[in-house]
């Protein structure tokens, strides 16, 4: 497996563990339907959390969260709508970004709640 895939998987594992440690229940990881994909779907209290995880080995070109494009946000919104419909849910939904930055053998996690809002 390519090194960047391993780094991405490690970042997603760390993000899921971080969320669990902070009281979230992980409902899905790497949820896919057609061309849509969500890294982590979690719940805390009555809020459904749709989370994108961005992992980088350096922030030389910018912070990891800066790489969540508008197109990715639109796809996350579409995926969330589909997930909610399939599971017949009626709950408040929030879109988060979790950035993981590898520095030497350490990982810094930055959880951005309400990173963006779905637009009409």
Tens digits of per-residue pLDDT, 47-98? Answer: 999 999 988 765 656 666 777 889 999 999 999 999 999 999 999 999 999 9
Q: Give me the phi and psi of 119, to 5 degrees please.
A: -110, 155
Find out whether 39 and 79 touch, Cβ atoms under 8 Å. Answer: no
Residues 18-52 have pLDDT tens digits of: 999 999 999 999 999 999 999 999 999 999 999 99
Could you tell me the residue range of the domain that residue 95 belongs to?
A: 3-116
CATH number at residue 13: 3.40.1350.10
- Per-residue confidence (pLDDT) for residue 23, from 0 to 100: 97
- Per-residue confidence (pLDDT) for residue 105, from 0 to 100: 77
Say how many domains are in the chain: 1
């Amino acid at each position: 497996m390519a090194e960047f895939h391993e780094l991405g998987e490690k970042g997603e594992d760390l993000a899921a563990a971080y969320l669990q440690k902070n009281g979230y229940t992980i409902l899905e990881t790497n949820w896919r339907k057609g061309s849509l994909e969500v890294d982590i779907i979690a719940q805390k209290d009555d809020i459904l959390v749709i989370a994108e995880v961005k992992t980088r080995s350096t922030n030389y070109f910018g912070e990891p969260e800066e790489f969540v494009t508008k197109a990715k946000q639109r796809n996350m919104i579409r995926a969330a709508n589909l997930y909610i419909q399939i599971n017949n849910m009626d709950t408040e939904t929030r879109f988060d970004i979790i950035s993981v930055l590898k520095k030497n053998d350490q990982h810094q996690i930055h959880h951005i709640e309400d990173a963006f809002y779905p637009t009409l």
